[in-house]
Every structure is written in C-alpha cells, then in structure tokens.
Amino acid sequence: MEQKKVKFSFKVDQDETQDNSKGSMFLVSMKVKNNSKQNIKFNKSKFVLLSDNKKVVSNKKGILKLKVGQKVELNELFTGVPEELLNGGGNIIYLNQNNKIASNNFKKQLDKFQSEENSSTEIQPQNSSSNVSSSQESSEVKQSQKSGQGQASSAQSNNFNEADFSLSLTDFINKYGMSPAAYRMEKMGMSEEEALKVTPDDKESSGELQNEHSPQQFTDEDGDTYTKYPDGSIEYNDEDE
C-alpha cells in the first residue's frame, strides 16, 4: 500500500453522553481518503489513540474498504476520550506503533470549545452610580422583573421537557399531537439524529424507523455527496482524481 497517499484527518467534538462534571470528555471522528492506485481495507477495531501509556481503542467493528479515490468518514471512532489524551505527546495508530497515522495534538480544536464555554459564562460589569439609593431601587425592580421572566421561562421550559415518554407511541401521539422523536426535535431542540438515537424503536413511527435504519444520502459543505449508514459510518461517492 502506498501509505503516504492515504490521507487521514480527525475532528474532535464534546461527548455530551458522558459526565463532564469532573473533566471534559470528547469524541473523535476520522475521515480517510484513498489517493493510492489500489483498493485498500482497514479493520475498524484496530485504530488506537495512544498517549503516555494511556489508550482509547476504536469504538467501531468490521472492515472498512476504500476503492481508489474513495473518501469515507467514521463518526465517533473514539468515544469518552479525556482532554489530556488530545493535547499532544502521543499518536493515533493502526495495529501497532509502527503505523502512526496522526499526532494526538488537537489543541486548536480544544481551544474552540474552551472559547465557547468562556463566552457563555462571561459576566458583564455593572455601571456605577453616584445615587446609591436610586441605583439600589432600580436594581431591585430589574431583579424582580428578571425573576418573574425567569420563572415564566423556566415553567415554559419544564412544560416542554416534562413529556411522559413512558407512554406508548399511540398514547403519546394522542396526548401531544406528535411522536416522541418529533417532540424531542420540536420542543427540546434535538437534531433528528439525536432524537431517533434516544427514542426506542417501538415508539417510533414507520417513517422514523426507516430514516434511522436505512442508508441516507447527504451533501457536505464541499458539495460532495455521501451515504450515511445506520452504524454512523459515512461513505463518499467515488471521485475522479
């Protein structure tokens, strides 16, 4: 295999399925393109993220086959990855350390998450006033208004999130006017993929089951079309070099 002509790239995302209270956990997805002149294949379970004698093994199983010029993406190749394994000093390898395919230095991608976290918790400074009594009175009024708005917003949010997902599909539709997956998307802001992932099959409509368990065609930001399979893997159409 012309190893240098097989191109790998990796993307880091926050793993919201993990308990991040004791430290952020991340997902790592992989995109690989076969620029060589022969078809190649990989054992999906043999990719390893290795750093300082700590390792995370691939979350995938099966064989990944790439034709000449083909590009494939494996979503969530590694899951539950602690931040310390993404700050450099190690590698992503295939089979053994003789096959290093990328460094584990993802500091730039991690900085993006840190920046977003800081911006969401930024505290705005208060303006000073020479009239202390007037300032306190105004502050109390505003605080009262905010409290009322917050309670109303909280009540509205709770109403959205307090749906009884233990109901059968028919009973849920009769009560809320939509399926549990549709409710999660419309009322709770989940994507279709997230909603279908957490909704049991027996509580999905026939159309939702088909969307979840059948390959789907999409177009990425570069205009390339690809097929997404139920196991989360993505296969791009063959490309001319």
Q: How confident is the model at residue 170 (pLDDT cuts 50, 70, 90)?
A: very high
What digits encode the pLDDT tens for the residues 133-161?
555 555 554 555 555 555 544 444 445 45
| Predicted pLDDT of residue 152 | 46
Residue type present at position 226 = Y
* Cross-strand bridge partners of residue 102: 92
Q: Going from the N-terminus, what domains does the chain have, and what CATH number goes with each? A: 3-114+217-236 (2.60.40), 153-204 (no CATH)
CA dist 66 and 72 (Å) reads 7
Structure-token pair, residue 182: 């549709």
218: left (phi over 0), alpha (psi -120 to 50) or beta: beta
Check residue 129 and give its pLDDT.
Answer: 46
Question: From CA 91, how far away is CA 93, in angstroms rounded?
Answer: 6
For 103, residues 6+ apart whose C-beta sits below 8 A from its C-beta are: 88, 90, 91, 92
42 Cβ contact partners less than 8 Å away, ≥ 6 residues apart? 32, 63, 64, 66, 94
**pLDDT greater at residue 194 or residue 226:** 194
Q: pLDDT value at position 206? A: 87
pLDDT at 130: 45
